Structure 1
């Protein structure tokens, strides 16, 4: 078949290895470190010129409950409580076994990366993320996904792990239910075949494939694509041909607070600490406490598909722990003024309506949208950013067991095929309303760690 994504394995491969990992984002690099530590021969192939993936575009925050970093910060937490938070946000739609595997192993992975590989994780301890009953988001000093990727790549270099870039996986080479290798394409168009005894798909979701997005998640089809362009859905298409079970293809992480037209993520801390979103008319339009993934759909439904995040200098100071926010300020995306009228002029909003909106925010109590406020009121200097709704990454994909083994429609595992990261179904339920902050990276990093170790 000319458009087939799989093909019979050749008698001889151009190259042979033990564990082959497709994708050098956070998931693939963690899987490589884990497999190397388990004594395996490891090769990572990456389509980009340098490792990055969707992780490099994010804040690089990983939720975990019961870590040493939490204990040092005086935070009492548990995997059971974390699992309850995930299922509450996802309306109980996730498999309990997968949620348990992720939440039980998350603290082990964070502590391992810190103690064995020297990644200096700390807890984001000065604001809360929607849906989390404890402060459990772990990040590196700059709170940047690019910093996380760089640190993992350095750890792989120290461990002597080979990462071959500019090799895009095109086709799986199979023998019945067993994957024997992968065909990759070099930048010059030449195809190479790599044989392996174990294959870990840590490659991608399908957010960059607009046809698949329109098919499976029409409510976000017009959203800005803010993820990695390499997310074209190959893993999904390979899985279809192999007979793998696909789950929750309508699930995604959106982000309704992307500076527009600058294309820079504005941390949701500007909202959780007391800020609000307004539309072009200067009016609030929803309960922002639901979260930034839900915000994507809410913002896109506003006139022009855009909104404005309104906060103040106190909140901006909290947000500056994130490199993205500092970049947004440097680019002029963040407007600041000592009066609401001046801020309205800077953002192109009706001053009278914006003034009324800010005055109507309760200092204590619940507003008409059902959102509770308990902090200080917004006060001068006032800040604002024009934002739009975006699709950041897809959450559905290949169904796996707790060790990342790919399962078929009968629930049987393929002999040597694993999936994690964007290739695997995460723990956000069926739709965007189930997304809990950090779950995408949680699924990627923890399943990557488990696939590296799995037999």
Structure 2
């Protein structure tokens, strides 16, 4: 429903700034608008806010925060930007990477100091590609809890969040957005005028046609994202003349419990676990990152792999609510020995034993991993063993509308559109054009950092129009 129509004869109501999407990007934008005294309204298509944020881990990477400093961690925006660039092999947008890295720390501090969000720094393990412990989470350590806390802050700030409000068209005078068409579940249509519009309705992972066009390698992958991510924001922005970037970029994940559909934390791999295929053999270096591992898993027979770990890692994983849910659903199989593990998983015992023996030798410095992984930084796996059957999946897209430093959408010649802003999955991200460019946390990084910039930019535009 990505239509752009001429201005209507009348509006049913008007506000200074409309925000489409009540995920992390939209909620943070709304809080910035509230702080600036700008009249705003958030439109959410679902009966309650959820989307990609609620389905995520809820972890946000940020350097230089008060939380990080209190934990004694030394970090900087420059180091973070370098990690982002290194992970994308230099193919990501350096300007956006630096913008996100510089913005995110102050945003998390502002959310804590002004709006009461509580942050914890995750120091149990270092996510692949990060040079410092900089992953922040609310105490519950879930995306749903993060969104609930943001929603409570938005409510306290007095910004209305209108649910069951499906935006089915935009109205524009040339390239200037003047209103949004909202269709209610009963078919009733409302036209809401605005001076500025923030697109925060995520990417296009739920649109098979767009995925097949832009990310063909993921066309057949299971989609573990919100079905409402249909690419409306992308198509609206393009129709208005907005430029796009890195549409082939995405976040995959190589560890989705199958058939349970529950995310298995990559901490298992980062801290010493391995993945094997149906032949009981490893097939890739698990330390590269979980996004690129999705494609490697999908390339295995039937698109299936097994996460293999031990009691030490089981205790670590139980600190994550998603893993506990997977364990409660029966996804975790256990064996007191390699023989028993092979029996409960159906994996070939001889090959599995050989794989585990080689990994142990690599951990002890007695062998070199042919796949290039350094095993010497963590203890070798020891019995009893545990396993989870997993597949690779598409989580969300990373390309989108090109934005400036104030999150305003640019045209192809670098001219900003008059009053259109984008953040989160609607905007071009920092991961570059390939799945292996995704650094852990890049999704919520750009949702929160660019959501803040969009709110500030839209509030300045509203103030200028009032003066």
Instruction: Give the TM-score of the pair, scaled to structure 2.
Output: 0.95
Take 1:253 and 1:35, find their aligned partners in 2: how far apart are those partners? 29
Take 1:112 and 1:319, find their aligned partners in 2: how far apart are those partners? 31
Matched, 1:250 2:253: no
Question: Equivalent residues in 2 for 1:74-85 (5 A)?
Answer: 74-85=72-83
Question: Equivalent residues in 2 for 1:10-49 (5 A)?
Answer: 10-49=8-47
Q: Contact (CA 8 Å) 1:9, 1:173: kept in 2 or not?
A: yes
Question: Equivalent residues in 2 for 1:247-396 (5 A)?
Answer: 247-361=245-359, 362-365=362-365, 366-373=368-375, 374-396=377-399
Q: Contact (CA 8 Å) 2:92, 2:431: kept in 1 or not?
A: yes
Matched, 1:448 2:456: no
Give the match's secondary structure for 2:363.
coil
Query: Deviations for 1:355-381, whole angstroms, at most 9, x for unmatched residues?
Result: 111111011455111111111110122
Question: Equivalent residues in 2 for 1:111-130 (5 A)?
Answer: 111-130=109-128
Q: Contact (CA 8 Å) 1:251, 1:430: kept in 2 or not?
A: yes
Give the match's secondary structure for 2:72.
coil
Q: 1:200: Cα distance to partner?
A: 0.2
1:240 corresponds, among 222, 238, 241, to 238
Q: Contact (CA 8 Å) 2:197, 2:420: kept in 1 or not?
A: yes
Q: Contact (CA 8 Å) 2:128, 2:287: kept in 1 or not?
A: yes
Take 1:4 and 1:59, find their aligned partners in 2: how far apart are those partners? 29
Which residue of 2 is the match for residue 144 of structure 1? 142
Take 1:275 and 1:63, find their aligned partners in 2: how far apart are those partners? 23
Q: Contact (CA 8 Å) 1:364, 1:372: kept in 2 or not?
A: no
Which residue of 1 is the match for residue 442 of structure 2? 439
Q: 1:241: Cα distance to partner?
A: 1.3
Give the match's secondary structure for 1:173.
strand
Q: Contact (CA 8 Å) 2:2, 2:168: kept in 1 or not?
A: no
Query: Deviations for 1:17-58, whole angstroms, at most 9, x for unmatched residues?
Result: 111000000110111011110110110000010001101111
Matched, 1:162 2:165: no
Give the match's secondary structure for 1:119.
coil
Q: Contact (CA 8 Å) 2:2, 2:233: kept in 1 or not?
A: no
Take 2:455 and 2:5, find their aligned partners in 1: how far apart are those partners? 25
- The CA RMSD over aligned residues, in Å, is 1.1
Take 2:51 and 2:115, find their aligned partners in 1: how far apart are those partners? 20
Query: Which runs of at least 4 in structure 1 moved beyond 4 Å after TM superposition?
Result: none
Query: Deviations for 1:132-154, whole angstroms, at most 9, x for unmatched residues?
Result: 01111111122100000111111
Q: 1:249: Cα distance to partner?
A: 0.7
Q: Contact (CA 8 Å) 1:205, 1:422: kept in 2 or not?
A: yes
Which residue of 1 is the match for residue 5 of structure 2? 7
Take 2:140 and 2:319, find their aligned partners in 1: how far apart are those partners? 7
Q: Contact (CA 8 Å) 2:175, 2:241: kept in 1 or not?
A: no
Take 1:453 and 1:50, find their aligned partners in 2: how far apart are those partners? 25
Take 1:364 and 1:77, find their aligned partners in 2: how far apart are those partners? 31
Take 2:427 and 2:15, find their aligned partners in 1: how far apart are those partners? 23
Q: 1:93: Cα distance to partner?
A: 2.1
Query: Deviations for 1:330-364, whole angstroms, at most 9, x for unmatched residues?
Result: 11101122212212222121122111111110114
Take 1:380 and 1:336, find their aligned partners in 2: how far apart are those partners? 10
Which residue of 2 is the match for residue 65 of structure 1? 63
Query: Deviations for 1:236-287, whole angstroms, at most 9, x for unmatched residues?
Result: 1112211210111100000110000000000000100000000001100011
Take 1:312 and 1:341, find their aligned partners in 2: how far apart are those partners? 15
Q: What are the ranges of 5 or more consecutive residues in structure 1 without an aligned counterpart?
A: none
Which residue of 2 is the match for residue 135 of structure 1? 133
Q: Contact (CA 8 Å) 2:92, 2:432: kept in 1 or not?
A: yes
2:412 corresponds, among 406, 409, 413, to 409
Matched, 1:187 2:185: yes
Take 1:346 and 1:208, find their aligned partners in 2: how far apart are those partners? 35
Q: Contact (CA 8 Å) 1:169, 1:184: kept in 2 or not?
A: yes
Take 1:191 and 1:313, find their aligned partners in 2: how far apart are those partners? 56
Take 1:284 and 1:208, find their aligned partners in 2: how far apart are those partners? 31
Take 1:209 and 1:338, find their aligned partners in 2: how far apart are those partners? 44
Take 2:371 and 2:95, find their aligned partners in 1: how far apart are those partners? 35
Take 1:272 and 1:448, find their aligned partners in 2: how far apart are those partners? 30
Take 2:339 and 2:36, find their aligned partners in 1: how far apart are those partners? 61
Q: 1:96: Cα distance to partner?
A: 2.5
Take 1:413 and 1:298, find their aligned partners in 2: how far apart are those partners? 39
Matched, 1:428 2:431: yes
Q: 1:99: Cα distance to partner?
A: 1.6
Give the match's secondary structure for 2:242.
coil
Take 1:336 and 1:74, find their aligned partners in 2: how far apart are those partners? 38
Query: Deviations for 1:104-126, whole angstroms, at most 9, x for unmatched residues?
Result: 11110111112222221111101
Take 1:168 and 1:442, find their aligned partners in 2: how far apart are those partners? 26
